[in-house]
Amino acid sequence: MCIINSDRININNNNNTLLPAPTTTSAPKNQIHPSSSMKVLSIDKRISLWLLPPEPILSSLTRTQQQLISLHDSVSNNKLPTFTPHVTLVGGVPISKCCTVEDDVMPLLTSCNDNNNNGREHSMKQEEEEEDVDEVAAKSVLMRLACAFRNFGGVDCNFVKERGVFAARNDDGEVQWNQSCISIMERTGSLTKAMELAEHALFTKQSTTTTTQNESGESSTHSLERHFKPPACEPHYSFVYGNDAGLIASLLQPSSTSVGSQLSSGSANEVSSGGKKRFVLECPPNFTCTEIAVVWTYPSSLEGVEQWREIGRFRLVEEGGTSKY
């Protein structure tokens, strides 16, 4: 039995920090009705696991994102969405693929009910009737992952500087909206191990065999390649989503290499060129992730990004140190 240290895990119950709360256009709640046998999890609501950069890199990347959005908005009528800087560990998993109502939702509700005295039974029953089954399942996934990653340690996020920053294009030449400004990350040993552990924690419980299934129903023996989404098909960091590819080309390298050598990686910096100031965009600095966020990432579209929100997060190492648990 895994006992979760409350200092390692944070469940976001008020949607007030990491990401904007969903607007009224969000998908309707899939409510629990204890008297009904029709309890199903959504096939449309999806979760993702994000590797979060530590400070001060997180703040620096946030500023870079804001600068890029401001530059883009100055030449385009399409306003780009904001989101928390991250590297996706596992993305776009339907909640119904990694949970069941019987195994994940009902035990959690029963536990909550058992922890309340008789005087609150009626109140708890009303809360259960109004509870969103997918939200309860997501909290169960968060706790399951926190248990699985206990004693794991940090995840090394190192970037391939030679590939720089670029827009990934599909076979038809169109830029993929969520890979429109990316830097490729190395497949470090700790990243691979983290993906393997996430794969096991998310999907093994839902299968009686040693294989898992991808979204098309095809079997794969714990294959991690399916998590590297096309067209880049590599782990990567996204500076922004949905930008015009021309924005990147105008920001890449300064004309003077001596100026470029003075710039800090991972930020859009003002440099002088011919008497004019302009920005230069480079790969993020390498970092070690010590915290993972579990996030609702639906709708899966550029317009839907502003509705994405955090479910919660958990730490991989102790606060103030680099040692494992």
- The predicted pLDDT at position 16 comes to 42
Enumerate residues 6+ apart whose C-beta is below 8 A from 196.
Answer: 222, 224
Q: Which residue has the tokens 């190492």?
A: 317
Q: How far apart are CA 141 and CA 250, in angstroms?
A: 42
Tokens encoding 322: 């680099």
- Taking CA atoms, 11 is separated from 35, 85, 102, in Å, by 28, 19, 22
Enumerate residues 6+ apart whose C-beta is below 8 A from 62.
Answer: 84, 85
DSSP, residue by residue, 42-90: -SS-EEEEEEEPPTTHHHHHHHHHHHHHHHHHHH-SSPPPP----EEEE
Radius of gyration of the chain (CA): 21
Residue 178: exposure state from Cβ atoms within 10 A (0-12, 13-18, ≥19)? buried
**Relative orientation angle of helices 133-148 and 189-203, to the nearest 10 degrees:** 140
Bridge partners (DSSP) listed for residue 272: 277
Q: How far apart are CA 278 and CA 271, in angstroms?
A: 6
What does the pLDDT profile of the chain (325 residues) look like in tens digits? Answer: 565 555 678 887 654 444 543 443 444 455 554 433 457 899 999 999 999 999 999 999 999 999 999 999 888 888 999 999 999 999 999 999 999 888 888 887 776 655 554 445 545 444 444 568 999 999 999 999 999 999 899 999 999 999 999 999 999 999 999 999 999 999 999 999 999 999 999 997 654 333 444 444 444 435 889 999 999 999 999 999 999 988 888 887 554 332 233 233 455 555 444 545 566 899 999 999 999 999 999 999 999 999 999 999 999 987 655 433 2
